[in-house]
Amino acid sequence: MTLFDVYPLNNIAITSAKDSYVWDENGVQYLDMYGGHAVISIGHTHPHWVKRIEDQLEKIAFYSNSVIIPIQKNLADKLGAVSGKTDYQLFLCNSGAEANENALKLASFVTGRKKIIAFSKSFHGRTSLAVAATDNPSIVAPVNETENIIFLPFNDAQALQKCFDEQGSAIAAVIIEGIQGVGGINVADDDFLQLIRGLCDAHGSVYIADSVQCGYGRSGKFFSHDHAGVNADIYTMAKGMGNGFPVAGILIAPHIKPKHGMLGTTFGGNQLACAAALAVLEVIEQENLVANAATTGNYLMEQLRLIPGLQNVRGRGLMIGFDVPDERKDLKKKLLFDHKVFTGEAKPNVIRLLPSLALKKEQADQFLSLLRKAVG
């Protein structure tokens, strides 16, 4: 049997990992400034995470959501404490797309409306409504096409205001990444997020903060939307939540009331996933990783701005992007194959940095020195 060939692959097989490093099958070490696509939050194979998963495996890995699963409540309490959203409700699922799908569905259920506002360069996942709200027609199948999504320009206050003036009573939800990831590290303006909050309040619409990539401490605050001092009605979370163990969820504001059968999943919230997610929050708390993301991220951005040839360094915390001019468009490959550094990219010419939130200053310095060589 062959694998369904949908991924353009680098010819490297990664077989082990620790902290901010990974090794290939020949023992070659790579510095991981990509975090396996923003997934590695507390560092690869963190010992506390490994131990908690092992201990849980010995007890029980899975039972369905037809019984009380105490570790789900432990996770909800810890997530409330670490995120500061203590009065929110948690629904657990398995991936970022599924989190967004549930958030959009919930918004439609509670408002009784169909229209969703999404933004240019957004990415919300590949399932039916999540992909319809994604600004990339090439990944939207004919069956996913819908008239229910209204795309507006990102950070355009006037266009948003006009849309609500004209059809506010039809808008179920606004969905926005606090920092666009796949779109190329574009930070939503604080006053734009405040405007979304105000318009959703005025028109009875649901504010969905897609925090799948920019959440979980990556921006230097638990949710990147916290920088704007606003509370969303629903936060969607995935990547960093399990440090590589597949687990996702949505945080739901207290004014949204649940009904039995409204949402559901077989695997979501299983014991093993909850153990992994709890371990992540415990390490984030014990090792002050949100603060580390802020300081190490600021340091990296300051230093990147001093490197000639890199343009428009931007981001928050450890979610950083910069543009490379045309003549350096092979920089990502050069970093990987010549200097053994994983980074991310966004088309056409953006390098994305999404390392573990535990990245140390020495590792940031190691990256900067390799980058200077690669650019130089």
Ligand X SMILES: Cc1ncc(COP(=O)(O)O)c(C=O)c1O
Residues that bind ligand X (CB under 6 A): 95-97, 100, 123-125, 177, 181-182, 210, 212-213, 238
Tell the smallest beta-carbon distance from residue 123 to ligand X (Å). Answer: 5
Tell the smallest beta-carbon distance from residue 305 to ligand X (Å). Answer: 25
**Smaller CB distance to ligand X: residue 22 or 210?**
210
Tell the smallest beta-carbon distance from residue 35 to ligand X (Å). Answer: 12
Task: Give the CA distances from residue 253 to residues 89, 90, 195, 365, in Å, rounded to whole numbers and listed in that order.
Answer: 6, 9, 18, 41
Name the closest residue to ligand X (Cβ).
96
**Smaller CB distance to ligand X: residue 239 or 370?**
239
**Smaller CB distance to ligand X: residue 85 or 121?**
121
Task: Give the CA distances from residue 250 to residues 22, 101, 115, in Å, rounded to whole numbers and listed in that order.
Answer: 30, 10, 20
**Smaller CB distance to ligand X: residue 23 or 245?**
245
Tell the smallest beta-carbon distance from residue 124 to ligand X (Å). Answer: 5
Tokens representing 145? 């096409």
**Smaller CB distance to ligand X: residue 119 or 164?**
119
**Smaller CB distance to ligand X: residue 182 or 374?**
182
Tell the smallest beta-carbon distance from residue 224 to ligand X (Å). Answer: 11
Using an 8 Å Cβ cutoff, are 129 and 139 in contact? no
**Smaller CB distance to ligand X: residue 164 or 239?**
239
> What does the H/E/C string look like for the chain?
CCCCCCCCCCCCCEEEEEECEEEECCCCEEEECCHHHHCCCCCECCHHHHHHHHHHHHHCCCCCCCCCCHHHHHHHHHHHHHHCCCCCEEEEECCHHHHHHHHHHHHHHHHCCCEEEEECCCCCCCCHHHHHCCCCHHHCCHHHCCCCEEEECCCCHHHHHHHHHHHHHHEEEEEEECEECCCCCEECCHHHHHHHHHHHHHHCCEEEEECCCCCCCCCCCCCHHHHHCCCCCEEEECHHHCCCCCCEEEEECCCCCCCCCCCCCCCCCCHHHHHHHHHHHHHHHHCCHHHHHHHHHHHHHHHHCCCCCCEEEEEECCEEEEECCHHHCCHHHHHHHCCCEECEEECCCEEEECCCCCCCHHHHHHHHHHHHHHHC
Task: Give the CA distances from residue 263 to residues 11, 109, 211, 243, 268, in Å, rounded to whole numbers and listed in that order.
Answer: 40, 10, 20, 25, 11
Tokens representing 96? 């970022």
**Smaller CB distance to ligand X: residue 125 or 217?**
125
Tell the smallest beta-carbon distance from residue 2 to ligand X (Å). Answer: 23
Tell the smallest beta-carbon distance from residue 98 to ligand X (Å). Answer: 7
**Smaller CB distance to ligand X: residue 181 or 184?**
181
Tell the smallest beta-carbon distance from residue 139 to ligand X (Å). Answer: 11
Tell the smallest beta-carbon distance from residue 212 to ligand X (Å). Answer: 4
**Smaller CB distance to ligand X: residue 49 or 123?**
123
Tell the smallest beta-carbon distance from residue 272 to ligand X (Å). Answer: 18
Task: Report the C-alpha gap between 98 and 268 in whole angstroms.
Answer: 10
